[in-house]
Structures are given as structure tokens and as C-alpha cells.
């Protein structure tokens, strides 16, 4: 190994031991990941958001119309190998480095699907344009209720992540919603790994007329935070959809709207990533991604390791996902319409998540 590689390994070992969300990022990885930290709108890769569960990197979401989606990569896929190398124990940043690459080159990944089957994909990389706000439902082009009927009295807005353009994208979407005659909004934060704090706060402020958005507690216990300003972009009732891959800023937003009485939350317990992180540039081109504090909800509930608890818990089976039956969305529709709800379904307990990282590959 070169002296530079040995130095990087030593630094990485020190910082990776600080806490699950602090790490050293070598120059090559940081060059690839910079767009994610800065919240820019495109990257080169296969087109997926990822997170970390235990020893494995998993697919949080293959982005629409990307090489990953076209190849058949699915939500929850566990990345076992990349180009023949075992991915066990990899950080998200390392996985990003291995999987990303120039347009036109290919990468081979082996994954374990949620049903236990193993599949290998050879995927050609491309430039991935990422719009953070979408009106297109997650599991199909038309929003449908539990009876399978198209929904026309409610609006659907999905936030994939929080980038520099998210507030402007959302403002436009909400103007369209307000002019559509919709009686309520389904705000989908499923598989949203977070993003930029300032933009997350701006989004929360669009839905709130008053109240605390969040508290930030530093390592010494000192608190700061953000309070909603008068005025908002919509007065329509809101139901938030979240899942186990909703993390960081997505949890901050869900907690802010839930605890201010602005929205109900439907789905499963969220990821539980509530640390405040900062990327500090180093002279060698790398960076230290360091936890400098933690986020608390308006009622001082901790997000880290706990997540946001839904008001109504509902899960989906593999069969429902494959049939593109969006049961959580159907429950959100019933809730907004005031229809009776069936008993909630309980999620199967899983190991406590350990970390999220750079979201896009």
C-alpha cells in the first residue's frame, strides 16, 4: 500500500470510531460525493438512493427512469458485491466510490432481494438528473384509493430529498395544488434520505404559520433551533407518508408537522438519524464528516435511534409492492376523507439502524 493509502486508512479508523455518523472521506470518495453534500441536481452513476443497515448498504430507492430501475434493482435490496468484491462492512461512502463512475462505463452488482433471492446486474452508468419534488405517485402514475378508483379530490406531492432547489420546486407544486380544488395533500417522504438543513427548514416553514420547527443541541448541551414565520403556502390538511428509509431531514420535517398538529403521519417508524453533521474540507482533498450535535423535535423528542413514530402504522407485503398496490397511500386517502380505518399493521422489529450517508449512487 502507498503511504497515502496507509494514512487514509489510519485517519478513517480513528474517525469511524467516533459515532455511527462521523467518518473520514478520502479525496476520491469526496470528489464523487460532493454533489450530494452540496445538494446539486445531478450525478453520474446508476441512479439510486442508499442507506446503511447493520453491515450492509441497502437500496433505499431506485430513481425513476434510471439504469438502476431499468435493470430491476428494488427497494430494500442488500448490496452483496460490487465488481466481484464483497461489500460487507462497507460504508455508504465506499459503496458510492465503487458504484459511481463515468457515463458509459459499467458496474456489476450482486444484491439480495427482500424475499431472500440473490440476483446479479451489470448496469451501464449514466448522468442522473434529480428533481427533488414530484407529483408522480411512488408506485404508479395514478393515485388510487383502496377500491382502486382514481383519486381526484386529493393532491399528491413527493419530496425525494432536500436540495438547493427543493423550496422552489415545492412552491411551484403547491401553487398547482392550491389551484386544483384539492381538499387535502398526501406528502410522501418515503425513501427520503434527508439533505440540506436550511432547505429542510424552508420546506417546513411553507406548511407552518407558527411554532417551533426543531431544536439543535450541540455537544455541550447548548440549544438553538428554528421557529416558523407567519404565513404559509397552503392551508390544506396533510397526511405524511414515511417508511424505514425516511431519514435525517425527512424526519425533521415529519416531526415538525406532526408535533405542531399540522399533519398526521402514516407508515412505519422512520430511520432514526438525528445527528447534525458537517463536512470539513481537508488540504489533501478529502473531508471529515463530523457529528456536531443532534436534532430534537419541537416537543424535545430525540430523533437519533428512535425515529418518528407514525400516528397510524401500516406496512406493505412483498406481494403488494410487486403488484404496485400502495396500501399506505390508500390509508392516507381514507384518513383525509374521514373514512373508517382498519386496524393498523405492525412492522416486524428490525435491528436499530446505524447510519445513513451520501444518498445517491
Do 111 and 170 share a domain, yes or no? no
Query: Residue 353: pLDDT band by 50, 70, 90 thresholds?
Result: very low
Residue where a domain terminates, one of 73, 100, 129 = 129
Dihedral over alpha carbons 92, 94, 100, 101 (to 10 degrees): 170
- Asked which of 124-133, 135-144, 166-175, 208-217 is least confident by mean pLDDT, the reply is 135-144
Query: Residue 175: pLDDT band by 50, 70, 90 thresholds?
Result: very high
Please indicate, yes or no, if residue 33 is contained in any of the structural domains: no
Tens digits of residue pLDDT in 282-319: 888 888 888 889 999 999 999 999 999 999 999 887 77
Please indicate, yes or no, if residue 32 is contained in any of the structural domains: no
Please indicate, yes or no, if residue 12 is contained in any of the structural domains: no
Tens digits of residue pLDDT in 44-101: 899 998 888 888 999 987 888 899 999 999 988 999 999 999 999 988 778 888 898 8
Residue where a domain terminates, one of 129, 149, 181 = 129
Mean pLDDT calculated for residue range 232-258: 96
Do 141 and 242 share a domain, yes or no? yes
pLDDT, residue 67, reads 97
pLDDT, residue 357, reads 42
108: domain CATH number?
2.30.42.10
Do 108 and 185 share a domain, yes or no? no
Reduced to 3 states (helix: H, G, I; strand: E, B; else coil), residue 133 is strand
How many other CB atoms are found less than 10 A from the CB of residue 215? 18
Do 254 and 188 share a domain, yes or no? yes
Is pLDDT of 25 > 60? yes
Residue where a domain terminates, one of 87, 105, 129 = 129
Calculate helix-pair angle for 92-99, 27-38, nearest 10 degrees. 100
Q: How far apart are the first and last CA of the chain?
A: 27
Q: The domain containing residue 50 runs over which residues?
A: 44-129
Do 53 and 150 share a domain, yes or no? no
Do 204 and 314 share a domain, yes or no? yes
How many other CB atoms are found less than 10 A from the CB of residue 106? 13
H-type alpha helices, 140-216: 166-178, 197-207
Do 175 and 201 share a domain, yes or no? yes
Do 165 and 286 share a domain, yes or no? yes
147: domain CATH number?
3.90.226.10
Residue whose cell numbers read 441536481: 41
Do 79 and 226 share a domain, yes or no? no
CA distance 253 to 314: 20
Please indicate, yes or no, if residue 304 is contained in any of the structural domains: yes
Catalytic machinery residues? 248, 259, 273
Nearest to 18 by CA among 302, 291, 352: 291
Mean pLDDT, all residues of the chain: 87
CA distance 93 to 188: 26
Number of domains in the chain: 2
Mean pLDDT calculated for residue range 192-201: 92
Is pLDDT of 102 > 60? yes
CA distance 146 to 138: 16
Do 158 and 176 share a domain, yes or no? yes
Query: Residue 238: pLDDT band by 50, 70, 90 thresholds?
Result: very high
pLDDT, residue 82, reads 97
User: What length does the chain have?
Assistant: 361
Give Cα 118 distance to the centre of its chain: 24
Helix (H) or strand (E) holding 138: none
pTM of the model: 0.79
Amino acid at each position: 500500500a502507498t503511504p497515502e493509502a496507509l494514512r487514509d486508512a489510519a485517519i478513517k479508523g480513528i474517525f469511524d470510531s467516533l459515532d455511527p455518523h462521523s467518518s473520514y472521506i478520502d479525496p476520491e470518495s469526496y470528489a464523487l460525493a460532493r454533489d450530494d453534500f452540496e445538494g446539486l441536481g445531478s450525478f453520474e452513476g446508476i441512479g439510486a438512493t442508499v442507506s446503511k443497515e447493520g453491515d450492509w448498504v441497502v437500496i433505499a430507492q431506485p430513481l425513476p427512469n434510471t439504469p438502476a430501475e431499468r435493470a430491476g434493482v428494488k427497494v430494500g435490496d442488500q448490496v452483496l458485491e460490487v465488481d466481484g468484491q464483497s461489500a460487507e462492512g462497507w460504508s455508504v461512502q465506499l459503496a458510492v466510490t465503487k458504484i459511481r463512475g463515468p457515463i458509459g462505463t459499467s458496474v456489476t452488482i450482486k444484491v439480495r432481494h427482500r424475499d431472500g433471492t440473490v440476483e446479479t446486474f451489470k448496469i451501464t452508468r449514466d448522468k442522473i438528473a434529480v428533481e427533488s419534488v414530484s407529483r408522480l405517485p411512488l408506485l404508479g402514475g395514478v393515485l388510487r384509493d383502496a377500491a382502486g378508483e382514481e383519486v381526484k379530490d386529493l393532491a399528491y406531492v413527493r419530496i425525494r430529498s432536500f436540495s438547493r432547489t427543493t423550496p422552489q420546486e415545492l412552491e411551484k407544486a403547491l401553487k398547482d395544488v392550491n389551484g386544483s380544488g384539492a381538499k387535502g395533500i398526501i406528502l410522501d417522504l418515503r425513501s427520503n434520505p434527508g439533505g440540506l438543513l436550511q432547505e429542510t427548514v424552508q420546506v417546513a416553514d411553507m406548511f407552518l404559520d407558527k411554532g417551533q420547527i426543531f431544536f439543535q443541541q450541540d455537544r455541550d448541551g447548548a440549544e438553538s433551533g428554528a421557529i416558523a414565520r407567519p404565513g404559509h403556502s397552503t392551508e390544506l390538511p396533510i397526511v405524511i407518508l414515511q417508511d424505514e428509509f425516511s431519514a435525517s431531514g425527512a424526519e425533521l420535517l415529519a416531526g415538525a408537522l406532526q408535533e405542531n398538529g399540522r399533519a398526521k403521519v402514516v407508515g412505519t417508524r422512520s430511520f432514526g438519524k438525528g445527528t447534525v453533521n458537517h463536512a470539513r474540507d481537508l488540504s489533501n482533498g478529502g473531508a471529515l464528516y463530523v457529528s456536531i450535535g443532534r436534532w430534537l423535535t419541537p416537543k424535545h423528542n430525540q430523533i437519533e435511534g428512535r425515529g418518528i413514530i407514525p400516528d397510524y402504522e401500516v406496512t406493505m407485503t412483498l406481494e403488494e409492492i410487486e403488484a404496485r398496490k400502495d396500501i399506505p397511500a390508500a390509508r392516507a386517502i381514507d384518513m383525509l376523507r374521514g373514512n373508517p380505518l382498519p386496524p393498523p399493521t405492525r412492522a416486524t422489529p428490525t435491528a436499530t439502524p446505524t447510519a445513513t450517508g451520501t444518498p445517491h449512487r
